[in-house]
Amino acid sequence: MSPAVALATPPPAAPQSASRGQAIIVLEAIHKIYALGEEAQVHALRGVDLTVTAGSYLAIMGPSGSGKSTLLNLLGCLDRPTAGRYYLGGEDVSQMSDDALSEVRGRKIGFIFQSYNLIPQLSVLENIQVPLLYQGLDLRDYEARCVELARLVGLGDRLHHRPNQLSGGQQQRVAIARSLVNDPLMILADEPTGNLDSRTGAEVLDLIDRLNRDGKTIILVTHDDRVASRAHRVIHMRDGLIDREVINRAAPTAPTPAHA
Amino acid sequence: MLSYQILSTIRLGIKSLLLHKLRSGLTMLGIIFGVCSVIAMLAIGEGASYEAQEAIKKLGSNNILIRSLKPPEAARQQTGGGGPRGMSLKYGLTYDDAARLQATIPGVKRVVPMRIIRENVRFGRNEVPCQVIGTLPFYTEVTHVDVLRGRFLTDMDELFKNNICVITAGLAQRLFPGEDPMLHSVKIDAFYYRVVGIIQETARAEQRAQAGKMEGQPLDNNVYIPLSTSRTRFGEVLIRRLAGSFEAEEVQLHQVTVQMQDTAAVQTADPQIRTLLKRFHDQNDYELIVPLELLRQAEATKRRFNIVLGSIAAISLLVGGIGIMNIMLANVTERTREIGVRRALGAKRRDITLQFLVETVVLSVGGGLIGVVVGMLTPVIVSLATDMKTIVTLWSVLVAFGISGAVGIIFGLYPARAAALLDPIEALRHE
């Protein structure tokens, strides 16, 4: 294990990083139907089956309206499927209550958003701490870990800056540190480079690559082929179903065939 | 653990509020004025009614005061020239009245008659206009009197019509500067009265009630002489010189203080005294003052006053609360994205509710605290500027502060709930 994830200070919960190759996400015949009005319905997902193993690097692509955002929301436990089963880390989360889903998000999922979504009134350090806040933890016990994460993303000298004092690339790196603080089962990245120029975007992607190399499961949604080319596995969505799937052995972090 | 989280939530709330200092400050202003007005208004009201009640209490709540009044029709006659000129005008309470009150009204403890004659009191070259009060020894039992030196009137003085007097401390100072009054006599009209005592009268209110008749004169220039002495020395017909003419009045008693055994007796005696006096007076030449009744009225007035003031202040707090709610709703809309992010990162609905509720409460309680400080200073300034008495009561501070906290919770609940019920996906997508 490289030092990136194996920090000197422990994560809040017991380490959740499942051993490589173990299935952490299992979707079984997931349907999602949005009711728009009395009769109008949108069948956003029409029976998606998907299994993601620990340590994978998965990219989801597809045109708008294909259901990829819906899938991402479901994967992120922000929404519940209309039908079907979703097991996250062995736990069925498909029909959980709002509170229970919040709990799952806080403990098992790390989010990276296109527009960074840092909280403007908080400093870099405080932003990294936010996921811990809702797990009822005493933040003072985890300050060292948060500082270390800030250093990991190269912002060790900007702990007390406000988001508006940072560049876009720096803000996204804070967001990455934040997504790591609860040592999640997986990191969900929604167009992480969408708001960045190609150079800073590449830097951010390098950082994400590094996390994957260290064993983190990454799922990212993008419509940029160059971004998707870094993933080991690319699924293309169309009309609420997985249209096709590409295994990309040329990806920089792709596991050697011996592991695959 | 829990308190740590509450504390960090409060810290976060303050931080969020400080992000918009002007907006938060203006929002707080509503609560500040509300709380301030509750405390200040009640303090001024309390002070005013306290003064009135003290004044009434000094009359004695067990007492009923009866004063002689010059009947209005008689006064008109005299000045209009229709009446017999030079003849004395006879009115007011009589010795018989006093005796009858003592004899017939149940529950009467004492009846203290007083003759109050305005005369100049002289010592050497000093001359001071005074009230010469002819009364009985037990005057001291009805009105609170501190004997500073010597003694008050005694039964012997009354019996022998002694030419002695008791003077008030204020008069002693004015009349005998640098001298010992106890060694001297004062001259009133044509007679000399030996000073046997100096008293301090604490019942100022009685004198204040008569202040109108003694414009510009100090209130504590009183000389007390035995009633019998007053009758013999001054006679029953009192002649008052006016500019160019004089008027003669025949008044036996100027005031009778009826002391009852207890406050219950006061209530029953009040109508009885009225009936009794009516039978022997065919003109309206007396008035009844019942301090207990006045006290009750003052209390009722105060209660009404407090309700009015309280309502006004409550309305201003309500307006402040609506202001807070308005700002918090704007705040929730503005921070929809932040709410979405927090939800995505594991915040439960109640975490969001708590966060926004805490912000509202911080606003309102912060405003409440400032309001309490300003509200406690305002009455002091009012007192200094207008010479009005003000009393800041603890309960008004607690009520005002409590209401401000409640306003925060009540008006914060809706925006906080609205924030918590946002769909995280929608909230994240919000621009």
A97, A125, A132, A133: best to mutate for the B interface, most B CBs within 10 A: A133
Residue B189: which region, alpha, beta or left (left: phi > 0; alpha: psi -120 to 50)?
A: left
Q: Residue A213 pLDDT more than 60?
A: yes
Residue B381 forms part of a structural domain = yes
Residue B289 forms part of a structural domain = no
Q: Mean pLDDT across the stretch B54-76?
A: 77
B211 pLDDT band (50/70/90 cuts)?
Answer: very low
As a whole number, the mean pLDDT across chain A is 88
B428 Cα distance to chain centroid = 62
pLDDT digits (tens, 9 = 90+) for A120-172: 889 999 999 999 988 888 888 889 999 999 999 999 999 999 999 999 999 99
Which residues from B are below 8 Å from A100, CB to CB? Answer: none
Q: Do B306 and B236 belong together in one domain?
A: no
What are the structure tokens assigned to B2, written together?
Answer: 């829990």
What are the structure tokens assigned to A95, written together?
Answer: 């029909």
Comparing CA positions, the residue from A217, A215, A191 lying closest to residue A205 is: A191
* Of the partner residues A103, A105, A121, the one whose CB lies closest to the CB of residue B344: A105
Does the distance separating the beta carbons of B344 and A76 come in below 8 Å?
yes
Does the distance separating the beta carbons of A111 and B345 come in below 8 Å?
yes
Which residues from B are below 8 Å from A98, CB to CB? Answer: 348-349
Q: Are A217 and A52 in contact (CB under 8 A)?
A: yes
A33 pLDDT band (50/70/90 cuts)?
Answer: very high
A32 pLDDT band (50/70/90 cuts)?
Answer: very high
Q: Do B221 and B335 belong together in one domain?
A: no
A206 pLDDT band (50/70/90 cuts)?
Answer: very high
Q: Which of A198-207, A210-219, B65-74, B259-268 has the lowest mean pLDDT?
A: B65-74
What does the alpha-carbon distance between residue A75 and residue A60 come to, in Å, rounded to a whole number?
12
What does the alpha-carbon distance between residue A175 and residue A169 come to, in Å, rounded to a whole number?
10
As a whole number, the mean pLDDT across chain B is 84
B345, B349, B355, B429: best to mutate for the A interface, most A CBs within 10 A: B345
B208 pLDDT band (50/70/90 cuts)?
Answer: very low
Structural domain that includes position B316: 2-55+297-429
What are the structure tokens assigned to B341, written together?
Answer: 């992010």
Which residues from A are below 8 Å from B355, CB to CB? Answer: none
Cβ-proximal residues to B390 (8 Å cutoff; 6+ apart), any chain: B40, B43, B44, B46, B47, B379, B380, B382, B383
Which residues from A are below 8 Å from B347, CB to CB? Answer: 102, 106, 133-134
What does the alpha-carbon distance between residue A102 and residue A99 come to, in Å, rounded to a whole number?
5
Strands (E), B202-322: 222-226, 237-241, 246-250, 255-260, 286-289
Cβ-proximal residues to A27 (8 Å cutoff; 6+ apart), any chain: A48, A49, A50, A51, A74, A75, A84, A85, A86
Comparing CA positions, the residue from A63, A30, A66, A32 lying closest to residue A48 is: A30
Which residues from A are below 8 Å from B342, CB to CB? Answer: 119, 130, 134
Q: Do B162 and B249 belong together in one domain?
A: yes
Using the structure block, give the residue that is written with the tokens 């009201």.
B45
What are the structure tokens assigned to B69, written together?
Answer: 């009044």
CATH 3.40.50.300 fits A54-79+97-247, yes or no: yes
Helix axis angle, B291-334 to B336-344, nearest 10°:
70
Other beta carbons within 10 Å of B202: 11
B7, B331, B341: best to mutate for the A interface, most A CBs within 10 A: B341
The phi, psi pair for A187, rounded to 5°, reads -115, 125
A116, A119, A187: best to mutate for the B interface, most B CBs within 10 A: A119
Q: Do B90 and B133 belong together in one domain?
A: yes
What are the structure tokens assigned to B197, written together?
Answer: 């005592």
Identify the pLDDT of residue B77: 57
**Radius of gyration of chain A from Cα atoms?**
18
Cβ-proximal residues to B300 (8 Å cutoff; 6+ apart), any chain: none
Other beta carbons within 10 Å of B84: 9
User: SS3 of B140, please?
Assistant: helix
Q: Residue A257 pLDDT more than 70?
A: no
Work out the minimum CA distance from A209 to partner chain B, whole angstroms: 22
pLDDT digits (tens, 9 = 90+) for B85-137: 556 678 888 888 888 888 888 888 889 899 888 888 999 888 888 889 999 98
Q: Which of A55-64, B159-168, B238-247 has the lowest mean pLDDT?
A: B238-247
Comparing CA positions, the residue from B23, B109, B31 lying closest to residue B401 is: B31
Q: Mean pLDDT across the stretch A249-253?
A: 77
* ipTM given for this complex: 0.91
- Report which secondary-structure segment, H or E, holds B221: none
Work out the minimum CA distance from A4 to partner chain B, whole angstroms: 21
Last residue of a domain, one of B257, B284, B311: B284
Residue A122: which region, alpha, beta or left (left: phi > 0; alpha: psi -120 to 50)?
A: beta
Work out the minimum CA distance from B16 to partner chain A, whole angstroms: 6
Q: Percentage of chain B with pLDDT > 90?
A: 24
Identify the pLDDT of residue B79: 52
Q: Mean pLDDT across the stretch B358-371?
A: 92
Q: Do B157 and B274 belong together in one domain?
A: yes
Residue type, A24: I
Residue B63 forms part of a structural domain = no
Tell which wins on pLDDT, A63 or B388: A63
B1 pLDDT band (50/70/90 cuts)?
Answer: low
Q: Do B185 and B231 belong together in one domain?
A: yes
Q: Spell out which chain A residues touch chain B, with contact meaning CB-CB distance below 8 angstroms.
A: 73, 76, 78-79, 98-99, 102-103, 105-107, 111, 113, 117-122, 130-131, 133-136, 138-139, 178, 182
Distances (CA, A) of B349 to A91, A98, B346, B419: 22, 8, 10, 8
Q: Which of A154-163, B47-56, B219-228, B366-375 has the lowest mean pLDDT?
A: B47-56
User: SS3 of A186, please?
Assistant: strand
B210 pLDDT band (50/70/90 cuts)?
Answer: very low
pLDDT digits (tens, 9 = 90+) for B312-333: 878 888 888 898 999 999 999 9
Structural domain total, chain B: 2
Does the distance separating the beta carbons of B346 and A135 come in below 8 Å?
yes
Last residue of a domain, one of B254, B284, B314: B284
Q: Do B21 and B76 belong together in one domain?
A: no
Which residues from A are below 8 Å from B1, CB to CB? Answer: 136, 138
Identify the pLDDT of residue B240: 66
Q: Do B131 and B265 belong together in one domain?
A: yes
pLDDT digits (tens, 9 = 90+) for B136-190: 988 888 777 788 889 999 999 999 999 999 998 888 888 888 888 888 899 988 8
Which residues from A are below 8 Å from B19, CB to CB? Answer: 120-121
Q: Do B421 and B371 belong together in one domain?
A: yes
Q: Do B275 and B405 belong together in one domain?
A: no
Identify the pLDDT of residue B205: 42
Does the distance separating the beta carbons of A78 and B342 come in below 8 Å?
no
Cβ-proximal residues to A160 (8 Å cutoff; 6+ apart), any chain: A123, A124, A125
pLDDT digits (tens, 9 = 90+) for B249-288: 788 888 888 888 887 888 888 888 888 888 888 888 888 8
Identify the pLDDT of residue B192: 92
Please state the domain extents for chain A.
54-79+97-247
Comparing CA positions, the residue from B126, B128, B99 lying closest to residue B113 is: B99
What does the alpha-carbon distance between residue A122 and residue A120 come to, in Å, rounded to a whole number?
6
What does the alpha-carbon distance between residue A220 and residue A186 come to, in Å, rounded to a whole number?
10
Identify the pLDDT of residue A123: 93
Contacts A–B by Cβ distance under 8 A? 71
Does the distance separating the beta carbons of A178 and B338 come in below 8 Å?
no
Identify the pLDDT of residue B357: 93
Which residues from A are below 8 Å from B331, CB to CB? Answer: none
What does the alpha-carbon distance between residue A101 and residue B98 come to, in Å, rounded to a whole number?
91
Using the structure block, give the residue that is written with the tokens 């509503």.
B30
Q: Do B236 and B305 belong together in one domain?
A: no
Other beta carbons within 10 Å of B200: 13
Does the distance separating the beta carbons of A130 and B345 come in below 8 Å?
yes
pLDDT digits (tens, 9 = 90+) for B387-416: 888 888 898 889 888 888 888 899 999 999
Comparing CA positions, the residue from B289, B286, B250, B247 lying closest to residue B266 is: B289
Tell which wins on pLDDT, A259 or B376: B376
Comparing CA positions, the residue from B351, B423, B342 lying closest to residue A111 is: B342
Which residues from A are below 8 Å from B346, CB to CB? Answer: 102-103, 105-107, 131, 134-135, 182
Q: Spell out which chain B residues touch chain A, with contact meaning CB-CB distance below 8 angstroms.
A: 1, 4-5, 8, 12, 15-16, 18-19, 337-338, 340-351, 424-425, 428
Work out the minimum CA distance from A93 to partner chain B, whole angstroms: 14
Residue B292 forms part of a structural domain = no
Q: Do B317 and B273 belong together in one domain?
A: no
